[in-house]
Amino acid sequence: MDCASEPTGFHYVGNCIRPPSEADSILIQATIGCSHNKCAFCGTYKDKRFAIKDRAILEQDLAFAQSYCRHQRRVFIMDGDALVMPMRHWEWLLGEIRRRLPWVERVGTYANSKAVALKSDQDLRRLKELGLGIVYYGLESGHPEVLKRVNKGATPEKHITQGRRVKEAGILLSVTVLLGIGGVELSLEHARETGRVLSAMDPDYVGALTLMLIPGTPLCDAYERGEFQLPDPAGMLLELREMIAHTELSDGLFFANHASNYLPIKAHLPQDKAAALALIDQALAGRVGLRPEWLRAL
């Protein structure tokens, strides 16, 4: 369901953001904005005040999906940290999805560390039982100083704890990290520490995006004042190389194929690590072309 073409689109407030892997999912906007909304690089929800939407509105959107989305097997719950909704909302929503859309095979949502921390282990297991199949978790960096500078609201150890709790509840864990977020100054340290934290979280999927500065965000302001320098394309590749080299997953897919990235990589770790590093080395040596700036997008 595309928000732009959705006939009941007036129920959707502002931009509808979902992961690339949820492009064909039924999008249900159960919350508006992000309850944290303080990350220095993120401008996605700046114009939205966090709110949980009324059930009456969601019922209409679910009724629409019941009639018109019978071939879509996945539901994605928005906005930015929808997992933060209290359990009573989640239990109602997942129950309605089961009742009205019985063909749906998986429900996914976004989460940050606070949203997971507010759920008990029992809550997470209950969400899994009710159909929550995947959580997309924003780590961005595993470096303590970078996390502090970008106001992510959690330490590396807190991220490890919360990520592992999602996995232990049997919910697939997809973790997003950001190349370039440590700037030139902390580039390789950010890569190494992020690899360490990813290894400890051991997610099912990693999505490495390349930071794009959004006008009006504190990080973009710092860039314009000359206080933050973004690595150049070669620097970004070196950072990606260092991150993959320091990431040990037991059985996970490491994607760096987002439209924001200079070199598309899709590696099944651990077995594809050497091939991924070799491809990056070839790109660094100029033997593999990079995505041009004009083709990069968020």
Residues 94-153 that bind ligand SF4 (CB under 6 A): 112, 138
| C-alpha dihedral (75, 20, 143, 225), degrees to nearest 10 | -120
For residue 153, the 8-state DSSP code is: S
257 binds ligand SF4 (CB under 6 A): no
Q: Which stretch binds ligand SF4 (CB under 6 A): 40-48, 85-93, 213-221, 286-294?
A: 40-48
Q: Which stretch binds ligand SF4 (CB under 6 A): 7-15, 30-38, 120-128, 218-226?
A: 30-38
82 binds ligand SF4 (CB under 6 A): no
In whole angstroms, what is the distance from residue 166 CA to residue 127 CA? 10
182 binds ligand SF4 (CB under 6 A): no
In whole angstroms, what is the distance from residue 221 CA to residue 297 CA? 20
242 binds ligand SF4 (CB under 6 A): no
Pair of tokens at residue 61: 């959107």
36 binds ligand SF4 (CB under 6 A): yes
CA atoms lying within 13 Å on the CB side of residue 60:
11
In whole angstroms, what is the distance from residue 255 CA to residue 117 CA? 26
29 binds ligand SF4 (CB under 6 A): no
Evaluate the CA torsion angle 41, 75, 33, 297 in order and state its sign.
Answer: positive
44 binds ligand SF4 (CB under 6 A): yes
80 binds ligand SF4 (CB under 6 A): yes
240 binds ligand SF4 (CB under 6 A): no
Judge whether 96 and 107 are in contact, CB under 8 Å.
Answer: no
Tell which one of 42, 191, 230, 280 touches ligand SF4 (CB under 6 A).
42
Query: Residue numbers of the site for ligand SF4 (CB under 6 A)?
Result: 34, 36-39, 42, 44-45, 80-81, 112, 138
